[in-house]
Structure 1
Amino acid sequence: MAQSNLYSRVIGTGSYLPPDRVTNQDLAERLAKQGVETSDEWIVARTGIHARHFAAPDQTTSELALQASRHAIEAADIDPQSIDLIIVATSTPDFVFPSTACLLQNKLGIKNGGAAFDIQAVCSGFAYAVAMADSLIRGGSNRTALVVGAETFSRILDFNDRTTCVLFGDGAGAVILQASDEPGVLSSALHADGSHANILCTPGNVNKGVIEGSAFLHMDGQAVFKLAVKVLEKVAVEALEKAQLSASDIDWLIPHQANIRIMESTARKLHVPLERMVVTVGEHGNTSAASIPLAFDVAVRDGRIKRGQHVLIEGVGGGFTWGASVIRY
């Protein structure tokens, strides 16, 4: 039975990036060997990205999630066995099934039989996962949730397509949400419109042991840009209104780290000063569902995000999906 005075609060954050840091120059040299031209200047001018990290051939999404989760558990100073809910937001799971969350539960050695499942909302996945975990905790079903965004997007990139392969990277971020009588996650707003599925998708599927269609990411960059800027402003305002706050009350804006131009445009529309926006896209690239928790952890650990401050997270991704949450850290 739901308890009216029960909330969920972030009590720990963690992140992990694979060791292989690939600069734009590194990537340009790799692509040149197969006849694809690009440059550091071309990539930076269009995206703000300077480097990204790629997982090693034997590194799975669950392995990246494991490292980020361990850091979050350590920061929260909790016994892993107290975690009774694991949600992993990912579009690049280890397997078709079982879920990456179940694999992660096992790798963490958690034996309490708590729920574990994946959420697939692409780059909005972490916002969706936070909203789901918050709802379950507020409803009294769970007390301590491990919420992870983890991706190995390098596995689904077409390195003959310079318009997409320069954008994405691999990584994982995690937060621990725990039941509290003090407000933490103040509000969430989630949306989707499947009529835009074709502008950002990986349309392949497995049938009788073989992949049908394309297993690579496809994107209409201009269409995604226009839609992203439009819906991110609206969903941010919606989440703020639900929390009974205004943009001026937000200490830190953490948008999905897709493209610096989209991020800056959204901040301007919300009248949030650019210096109050956490930006990691330059070093991480677009890590899809991992980008928001990665940026969150970076800003917590470098001291920018402090206890009691208001943080607005927002993401938009294939589906088309979009979502936002207002969090009192």
Structure 2
Amino acid sequence: MDSPNIHILSVRTALPGPPVDNVALAHRLGVGDSWARWAETGVGIRSRHLARDLESGEITHTLADLGEAAAREALAAAGLDAQDVDLLVMGTSMPDMLMPATVNIVADRLGIDGVPSYQVQSGCAGVVQAMEIAVQRLAGGSARTALVLGGDTWVKHFDPSGDIKHLSPAELVSMALAGDGAGCAVLSVEPRPGAAVVRRVRTRLVGGLPPAQTVEWFGAHAGTGAPAVTDDRGAVETQVPVLAAEAWRELLDDVGWKDSDVDAVLPPQHSGRVTERVCELLGVAESSVTSRVEETGNNGNGLLLFQLERALAGLGSGGRVVGLTVEATEWVRGGIAVEVL
């Protein structure tokens, strides 16, 4: 018996408050305009959304808050209720706490009960891993409608209201990059006019490379003396384009598409600069690229959903999308191929 098509009924996202541009962040950090210019030209970020109030330092949003908001909007856009959901999967590198799992907090707030739930703790590839789990469960017949959530909040790792003089260069880069946000896709075996179909989801571990990024579990204020974040920017800018190109070729070969068949390309979004390098290596036209990191900051497992939301909104019947992801912690490459019916 053939597996059913897995349809993307909707994708919606949530951000914590208004954008914070580089000048505003530089002012709050007590650094000059040169830092703001560097953040845009050297890192490729114009603004980000933060789940912490810059003036008071107080947390304004949790990952559960953002995941709940995105899920409610996604369900409404799909014309479904919480009772229609029989599977939840979340990808995140930064859950709100060790236990309970953030995915279960979101489910409880939505009124979803008695269904399987999974939380994949992984870097930028986590949302694709979550998507792969959901697609497999739906295709296997054990569920009919799934919520796939992805997102991250950096608030326990950086405090923009504090003194940054002690931060390492890697932490300063990460502070320029960091954004908070979450997204949710509603997947179903039920067809819907104008819905997109998942043609392929693929993830692969890449061994033999040292981690280019690390994030300490207990954040910046655990008293361990270890930096909250390490970031080998040279390795990221060198390896991510190469691995993205490998994932691109694997996905296209799997679905039998040529490069020219793809209408929207969603490149890895480690920074605006990395995105440019990926697109140069792939040789794709700038007009086909959907990028969000310049305006949202790097919100990790949320970014692919932010890109997918925008790309699908601009495509009609027959439109084809390839989204790519590369995790630079312990390296993972992957992506998703989607076609609008």
Q: Compared with structure 1, are the counterparts of its residues 173 and 320 closer, same or farther at alpha carbon in structure 2 (3 Å cutoff)?
A: same
- Deviation, 1:109, is 0.8
- 2:81 and 2:227 map into 1 onto residues whose CA distance is 39
**Which amino acid in structure 2 is aligned with residue 122 of structure 1?**
G
Does 2:34 match 1:43?
no
Report the Cα offset of residue 268 of structure 1: 2.8
2:201 counterpart residue number: 188
Q: Which residue pairs with 2:55 in the alignment?
A: none
Q: 2:333: which partner in 1?
A: 322
Report if aligned partners of 1:257, 1:287 keep a CA contact under 8 Å in 2.
no
What secondary structure, in the 3-state scheme, does the structure 2 residue paired with 1:147 have? strand
Distance 1:212 1:145 in 2: 40
1:217 maps to: 229
Indicate which of 286, 291, 316 corresponds to 1:279. 291
Among 263, 274, 283, the alignment partner of 1:262 is 274
Distance 2:153 2:76 in 1: 24
Name the structure 1 match of 2:138.
137
Q: CA deviation at 1:204?
A: 4.2
Give the 5 Å matches for 1:152-191.
152-157=153-158, 159=164, 160=167, 161-180=171-190, 184-191=197-204
- Given that 2:40 and 2:46 are in contact with CA atoms closer than 8 Å, whether structure 1 keeps it comes out as yes
Indicate conservation of the 8 Å contact 2:21/2:46, yes or no.
Answer: yes
2:325 counterpart of 1:305? no
Match of 1:157, SS? coil
Equivalent residue number for residue 51 of structure 2: 55
What is the deviation of 1:222? Answer: 0.5
Who is 1:23 aligned against? Answer: 21
Secondary structure of the corresponding residue to residue 235 of structure 1: helix
Q: Return the alpha-carbon distance in structure 1 between the equivalents of residues 99 and 207 of structure 2.
A: 23
Deviation per CA, 1:41-72: give whole Å up to 9, x if none: 21111222100000130421111101111111
What is the aligned counterpart of 2:95 among 80, 93, 96? Answer: 93
Alignment coverage as a number of residue pairs: 319
**Alpha-carbon distance, 1:311 to partner:** 0.8
- Which of 4, 7, 10 matches 2:5? 7
Could you report, residue by residue, the CA deviation over 1:21-56 in whole angstroms, capped at 9, with x for unpaired residues?
A: 211001111222xx6885222111122210000013
Distance in 2, Cα, partners of 1:215 & 1:69: 33
Q: In structure 2, list runs of 5 or more residues that go unmatched.
A: 53-58
Say which is worse superposed, 126-135 or 159-168, in terms of deviation. 159-168
Partner amino acid, structure 1, of 2:178: F
Which secondary structure does the structure 2 equivalent of 1:198 belong to? Answer: coil
The structure whose residues are more often strand, as a share, is 1
Q: Which amino acid aligns with 1:185?
A: V
Q: Distance in 1 between matches of 2:295 and 2:251?
A: 28
CA RMSD of aligned residues (A): 2.2
3-state SS of 1:66 partner: helix
Identify the range of structure 1 (126-135 vs 37-46) with the bigger mean alpha-carbon deviation: 37-46
Normalised by the length of structure 1, the TM-score is: 0.90
Q: Quick check: 90-99 or 185-194, which moved more?
A: 185-194
Alignment-mate amino acid for residue 312 of structure 1: V
Matching residue of 2:56: none
In structure 2, relative to structure 1, the CA distance for the partners of 1:191 and 1:5 (3 Å cut) is closer
Amino acid at match of 2:331: F
